[in-house]
Amino acid sequence: MTFYCTHCWGEVAQTATACPHCGDDIAARQARTDYADKLIAALHHPEPTTPIRAAWILGQRRERKAVEPLCALVRESHDPFIAASAASALGAIGGPAALKTLQWAATSSQPRLRAAARHALTRVSNEA
């Protein structure tokens, strides 16, 4: 298993307490960061399946504080799988900001994102 610094995403040893790349105090960051914040940070992880998993978990948990970072991911990600995962999570969480982003994404030129946003909009409207 590979371990990463949640500050710079550099690879670190499992037992590292400080990042050899950026010097961040890994142990202190872990102690003061709650699970949702760790998932939100993971949305920017360089390994592409990690943001997808993080978005899915945030959606399952209906983490309202993740709406803004997920909206940004939908709008800014160049990876259609990551953007689609963020759109799906927004559909699970709902709210005005999520709805606005999903409406925008439903007209995207990326077929995967467009389909995920349209499906998420159906979910949001069914729960309203």
76 pLDDT above the threshold of 70: yes
Distance CA 122, CA 42 (A): 27
DSSP 2: -
Distance CA 109, CA 80 (A): 10
DSSP 49: H
The position carrying tokens 């389909």 is: 115
Coil, helix or strand at residue 106: coil
Coil, helix or strand at residue 22: coil
126 pLDDT above the threshold of 80: no
More confident residue, 85 or 27: 85
Q: What is the pLDDT of residues 37-66, one digit of tens each?
A: 989 999 999 889 999 999 999 999 999 999
Q: What pLDDT is recorded for position 51?
A: 96
